[in-house]
Amino acid sequence: MSDAGVQYGTTPELTAEMIYGQLDVLIHDEVFRSSKRSVAFLKFAVEQTLNGSADQIKERTIGIEVFGRDPDYETNIDHIVRTAATELRKRLATYYVDERHRAELRIELVPGSYVPRFTLPCQGRTAALDPEAAPDASGSSLESHGTQVQLASVPLKAARGKNPRWWRRAGPLLLAAATLAAAAGYGWLHRANPEDLFWQPVIDTPGPVLVAIGDHPNGPPTLPATDGIASAVTPVPSSDSSLTVPFGDTVTIARVVGALEARNKRVLIRRGSSSSFSDLREGAVVLIGAFNNEWSLRLTRQLRYSLALDPDRHLIYIRDAKNPSSRNWSWGTNQPRQPVTGANSPKLQDYALISRIRDSETGHVVVVVGGLYTYGTEAAGEFLTNPDLMQAIASEVRSGGGGHNLQVVLGTTVTDGTPGPPSVLAVSAD
């Protein structure tokens, strides 16, 4: 059977019976047995698609039909469907990454929607170095996404030079094998989930990840004495630290730790004020919080986008080194701490900065996740752990294999003390 393209329904090669059979295998596998909502979500999406109702697989419909929400429930406040979709995508990825399942029919969720797609596995292809030699157990295998290239062992007499013509025969096949492997790798990179690619440099760093939490929530930052230096100065957090963390920051901590542990990465959580530079030198670091985290302020100061303070205008803001006079992404430090709620309450705009860098000071990958206020931090955490939202920066995160420096500026509209879906305002990749 030849390679099958992406299918959203049935074809002569891809029948409903095959899809239902794979669905049954999935929901009874140990990856799914522990999550009733992932099973219910997947069954609903598959059945609706096979019944010809894929256009009805919408967030509100899923919330009502699968999770029992009221018909008029607020999708901007209740994120049950988006959270469940993220979990379902992770479980599908965990299942199919296992070598035992590589030859099975694939069921995935289409990026940017909740519609499943069904794809037949690729047919294996074999190429031997010596056309006269059958592949045996001593050969090595290069395998990627259903395409297999079997490299048979070279006869000993040829290796000793008694048959010099073997190289002329094998050379083109070696080149073809290398080309196939490179093409498969390129194809994987351009199909990979942007969320996975974003976190990959962190996952690849040996040892546990240090998650350092901002713990200076009491009051706006200040500017240190500059002795007449005119260049931008890094703000300093308030001197007081706290054992409590704002709710929005807590949500982001849970999301980030969940994303790392789902990728089998061990996590150490510490307060930012008790994390030393020596601690940051131990391995990959994730910093939660912006102006309440001294390390966030220090490690982003030389980047295109950094955290800045304008005391004359009572603003904290995200500074663009290419447009330093702009205050478009700012938050007033003289605003009331408690949000005004109610039908006539004003909407607020908060902003967040996500930076993933290979820091020259620590020698490791550092990820900074912080909003100007706690709403922005919460929105940034939602963005980083939602594959659908991260499609907005797919091209940038895929550039360079996901290992380059990356910064994302986000905006969110806050209503009744709750941040709305984050939107991408600017991206810098180098």
Site of tokens 């080309």 = 179
Q: Are residues 242 and 159 in the same domain?
A: no
Domain membership of residue 129 (yes or no) is no
Task: Answer positive or negative: Cα dihedral of 255, 260, 266, 270.
Answer: negative
Q: Are residues 301 and 415 in the same domain?
A: yes
Last residue of a domain, one of 119, 154, 179: 119
Domain membership of residue 237 (yes or no) is yes
Residues 6+ apart with CB under 8 A from 227: none
Q: Are residues 108 and 241 in the same domain?
A: no
Q: Are residues 184 and 226 in the same domain?
A: no
52 CB neighbour count, 10 Å cutoff: 9
Domain membership of residue 400 (yes or no) is yes
- What is the domain extent for residue 109? 16-119
Q: Are residues 113 and 157 in the same domain?
A: no
269: left (phi over 0), alpha (psi -120 to 50) or beta: beta
Q: Are residues 186 and 202 in the same domain?
A: no
Q: Are residues 114 and 145 in the same domain?
A: no
Q: How far apart are CA 393 and CA 275, in angstroms?
A: 31
Q: Are residues 374 and 274 in the same domain?
A: yes
Domain membership of residue 127 (yes or no) is no
Domain membership of residue 135 (yes or no) is no
From first to last of the 430 residues of the chain, give the pLDDT tens digit: 333 344 555 566 788 899 999 999 999 988 888 788 899 999 999 999 999 888 889 999 999 999 999 988 888 888 889 888 888 988 898 888 887 888 899 998 876 789 998 888 753 333 333 333 333 333 333 333 333 322 233 333 333 444 445 445 555 555 555 555 544 444 444 456 788 889 989 998 888 999 999 876 655 666 665 554 445 566 666 666 666 778 888 899 999 999 899 888 899 998 888 888 888 888 999 999 988 888 898 888 889 999 998 888 889 999 999 999 999 999 988 776 666 666 666 778 999 999 999 888 788 899 999 999 989 999 999 999 888 898 888 888 877 555 678 999 999 998 888 899 999 999 998 8
Last residue of a domain, one of 119, 152, 169: 119
Domain membership of residue 384 (yes or no) is yes
| pLDDT at residue number 137 | 36
Last residue of a domain, one of 167, 191, 215: 191
Domain membership of residue 10 (yes or no) is no
For the chain, state the CA radius of gyration.
26
Q: Are residues 203 and 332 in the same domain?
A: yes
Q: Are residues 56 and 154 in the same domain?
A: no
Q: Are residues 262 and 158 in the same domain?
A: no
Domain membership of residue 134 (yes or no) is no
Q: Are residues 114 and 157 in the same domain?
A: no
The total number of structural domains in the chain stands at 3
